Amino acid sequence: MELIELGMDQWFKDHAHELCQPEQRIARVTAVDRGQCIVSNEVGEVPAKATGAFMSSLQLTTDMPCVGDWVCVDYPSSSNFASIHTVLPRKSFLRRKSAGKSLKFQMIAANIDVVFIVQSCHFDFNVSRLERYLLMANEGHVEPILILTKKDLVSAEALAHLIEKIRGAGIQARILAISNVTGSGLGQVKEVMRLGKTYCLVGSSGVGKSTLINQLTGHDIVKTGSVSTSGEGRHTTVRRQLILLEQGAMLVDTPGMREVGILVASEGMDDNFDDIQQLSSGCRFTNCGHTNEPGCAVLAAIEDGHLQSEHFQNYTKLKAESALNEMSYVDKRKKANKAHLPHH
């Protein structure tokens, strides 16, 4: 594969020029599975591993190579195995918080142009989860497009109602409704995908991410799985991989996320809820909690119908969640400081 076909552009070229040694080549990470990578470039698509020196130079696990990364490689023995020496800076990224109270993140993919946030019209649909994914996209500087799958399982009215709910929550992202069974809407998905751009599918297990990839490629490239009677998937996809489509776009398949409770840190919140931020500047008290304070502009807006109360509830939930995350961070710091205090 030529680098340009893999999405290389001047920005990455400049960084590669600066960071890769003359004897090294640039490659793109196309798959990661427990520390083992696959990289692709004009030499070919080969297994690769980061060098010990690079790994020990890292401060954060999120700096380890992930799908979509551009890396500097060499071929220590023959051209069928590569060593990764450096990860180039990321233009954009998708990451989620690891489970538990720590402030650790887990990379999903890097250098993504558009994230397809996938929900099924049947069982899986949930607006506040959509909002979490939108925050994740916003935080990583990735443009979001919503894909509603399995429209064959619901009536046209039910689908219209779902879309109304999304718009009612103030979400403006593009929405594509598709069926992998009838093929309806697949043309629109193909249409948004551009040559040399990289797309990533995220969403719960069983919503049809891998089936969509197989539909777009026309082959059974990735494994798909059946869904239990509760509508939940069984985590058929286990690794993240970047797939090249015929029309020259790239698509990353990811395993479904079970725990989407904590997708993002607080800094991503502002843009998605700037309507509420703006309203709150009209509250009588600057530290208004928008619960029952007199002169609260947010409550007034809900009252007179200018603000969807569901949207506000999502905001409150996420606020509480990120406060909790920050608190656990502060708690941790306190603990660490205490450990260093002399005993009296």
Ligand X SMILES: Nc1nc2c(ncn2[C@@H]2O[C@H](COP(=O)(O)OP(=O)(O)OP(=O)(O)O)[C@@H](O)[C@H]2O)c(=O)[nH]1
Task: Report the interface residues with ligand X, using CB under 6 A.
Answer: 149-150, 152-153, 179-181, 205-211, 224-227, 233, 235-237, 255-256
Residue 96 interacting partner from Zn ion, Mg ion, ligand X, none (CB closer than 5 to 8 Å by kind): none
The 298-317 site mask, x for binding Zn ion (CB under 5 A), equals: x-------------------
- Shorter beta-carbon distance to ligand X: residue 40 or 149: 149
- Considering only residues 203 to 222 of the shown chain, the ones binding Mg ion according to CB under 5 A are 209-210
Nearest approach, Cβ of residue 25 and Mg ion (Å): 31
Q: Are 145 and 115 in contact (CB under 8 A)?
A: yes
**List of residues 6+ apart from 302 with CB closer than 8 A:** 308, 309, 312
**The one segment of 38-46, 73-81, 191-199, 297-305 that binds Zn ion by CB under 5 A:** 297-305
If we measure between CA atoms, which residue out of 77, 76, 69 comes closest to residue 40?
69
Nearest approach, Cβ of residue 292 and ligand X (Å): 42
**The one segment of 2-10, 40-48, 71-79, 202-210 that binds Mg ion by CB under 5 A:** 202-210
- Shorter beta-carbon distance to ligand X: residue 175 or 181: 181
Residue 40 interacting partner from Zn ion, ligand X, Mg ion, none (CB closer than 5 to 8 Å by kind): none
- Shorter beta-carbon distance to Zn ion: residue 180 or 308: 308
In whole angstroms, what is the distance from residue 287 CA to residue 137 CA?
28
If we measure between CA atoms, which residue out of 307, 303, 321, 304 comes closest to residue 278?
307
Interacting residue with Zn ion among 296, 302, 307, 318 (CB under 5 A): 296
- Tokens 């985590």 identify what position? 235
In whole angstroms, what is the distance from residue 146 CA to residue 133 CA?
10
Residue 1 interacting partner from Mg ion, Zn ion, ligand X, none (CB closer than 5 to 8 Å by kind): none
- Shorter beta-carbon distance to ligand X: residue 154 or 193: 154
Interacting residue with Mg ion among 138, 204, 237, 325 (CB under 5 A): 237
In whole angstroms, what is the distance from residue 209 CA to residue 149 CA?
9
If we measure between CA atoms, which residue out of 264, 244, 272 comes closest to residue 94?
264
Nearest approach, Cβ of residue 256 and ligand X (Å): 3
Kindly state whether residue 262 participates in binding Zn ion, applying the rule CB under 5 A.
no
Interacting residue with Zn ion among 147, 178, 200, 288 (CB under 5 A): 288
Residue 290 interacting partner from Zn ion, ligand X, Mg ion, none (CB closer than 5 to 8 Å by kind): Zn ion
Q: Is 104 helix (H, G, I), strand (E, B) or coil?
A: coil
Nearest approach, Cβ of residue 293 and Zn ion (Å): 6
Nearest approach, Cβ of residue 317 and ligand X (Å): 24
Report residue 311 CA to chain centroid gap. 21
Nearest approach, Cβ of residue 222 and Mg ion (Å): 6
Nearest approach, Cβ of residue 325 and Zn ion (Å): 23
Interacting residue with Zn ion among 25, 90, 240, 290 (CB under 5 A): 290
In whole angstroms, what is the distance from residue 9 CA to residue 5 CA?
10
| The residue type at 229 | T
- What tokens does 49 get? 């591993």
Beta bridge partners of 96: 106
In whole angstroms, what is the distance from residue 196 CA to residue 322 CA?
36
- In total, the chain counts a number of residues equal to 344
| The residue type at 182 | T
How many helical (H) and strand (E) elements, i.e. helices and strands, does the chain have?
10, 13
- What tokens does 109 get? 């993919």
Residues forming contacts to Mg ion in the complex (CB under 5 A) are 209-210, 236-237
Residues forming contacts to Zn ion in the complex (CB under 5 A) are 283, 288, 290, 296, 298
